[in-house]
Amino acid sequence: MSSQDIPEENLPVEQGHAHGAVDVADEQNPFADPGLPPHEHRVQDIDERAAKRSERAVAFLFTLSMLATVGFIASYVAIPADKSIFVFPIGHLSALNFALGLTLGTALFTIGAGAVHWARTLMSDVEVADERHPIAASPEVRAKVHADFRQGAKESAFGRRKLIRNTLFGAVALVPLSGVVLLRDLGPLPEDKLRHTLWAKGKLLVNMNTNEPLRPSDVAVGSLTFAKPEGLEEHDEDFQNEIAKAALMIVRLQPENIKDKRELEWSHDGIVAYSKICTHVGCPISLYEQQTHHVLCPCHQSTFDLSDGARVIFGPAGHALPQLRIGVNDEGYLEAHGDFEEPVGPAFWERG
């Protein structure tokens, strides 16, 4: 429906706007202002039912934004960080990241789409030409600006279209909650996950290279062997998280070379088991000096003495490597006698 189909008396009255005014080009003014094209009224300007439909559409978009924001918060709380889903044709994705991106994107997009639809269908679309003026506004100009603002507010129907106004307030008020929820990552809540590993009484020590349980005879004096807990496989979904805490290094010393009494008690025939995770920033330790019984972290050169309770003798590490108490079961395999007695890896402020 166009303005030509509506009786002239039903069209909105426009005041103060000269549409279609054209200057005539002459020698003095060869580039005349062509003026503005005649204004075409939209269907919403002349049909209140169409305006109501647009109002409901805008309110729907703002309401959808509110629901998406609530979905963002619910996803952040309810979906485990390690859960994955298959999305065609992308493939496997983190379920949490996918949900957060989808809901936050929807929340922001629908606010923008609602605002654009509101502006294009319900706010006044009359083009206004105004002459440039000095930067220092005169009282008359300021009065005109205030009058224009009041006129614009009236034409936007912000006060009259209460459904749009209220749903807009709700959408804009809820969207910042997404950022507030993300502040949770500034203070992670690991509960007691950092204090425990997969090691437990009776768990066999499995060679990381051969994937076979270790016997004392498999560990030669002066050698360095890396082990993992029985039952932890590389194809497990949580393998990386668990091995980052449970990785073990095994060294065999001569019992008479072990200086620390507890280390000797927790060993088996000179075989000692220590956490492979450096207590500085968590790098994996892999360098062993056979003659000195020192192990060196390649990241920042923290050095630990495995013959003296793995205490720090050089570098920025804050405390000794945790030792795992081990023994031999009835079948002759090395096994753990429990978990580490202190958290592995770097210290953290809740550690107490």
- pLDDT at res. 187: 64
pLDDT tens readout for residues 87-140: 888 888 899 999 999 999 999 999 999 999 999 999 988 887 777 766 777 888
- pLDDT at res. 134: 65
Q: What is the distance between the alpha carbons of residues 199 and 246, in angstroms, rounded to a whole number?
A: 7
**Nearest-CA neighbor of 224 among 212, 214, 236?**
214
- pLDDT at res. 9: 53
Q: What is the distance between the alpha carbons of residues 266 and 250, in angstroms, rounded to a whole number?
A: 12
The answer to whether the CB of 340 falls within 8 A of the CB of 199 is yes
Q: What is the distance between the alpha carbons of residues 228 and 203, in angstroms, rounded to a whole number?
A: 10
Residues 6+ apart with CB under 8 A from 219: 225, 250, 251, 252, 271, 334
- pLDDT at res. 103: 96
Q: What is the distance between the alpha carbons of residues 70 and 75, in angstroms, rounded to a whole number?
A: 9
Tokens read off for 74? 């619910």
**Nearest-CA neighbor of 62 among 135, 171, 157?**
171
Q: What is the distance between the alpha carbons of residues 179 and 175, in angstroms, rounded to a whole number?
A: 8
- pLDDT at res. 2: 46
- pLDDT at res. 350: 59
**Nearest-CA neighbor of 68 among 22, 118, 110?**
110
- pLDDT at res. 16: 47
Rg from Cα positions in the chain: 36
Which residues of the chain have a pLDDT value below 50?
A: 1-4, 6, 15-20, 352
Q: What is the distance between the alpha carbons of residues 315 and 295, in angstroms, rounded to a whole number?
A: 12
Instruction: Give the bridge partners for 92, in sequence order.
Output: 86
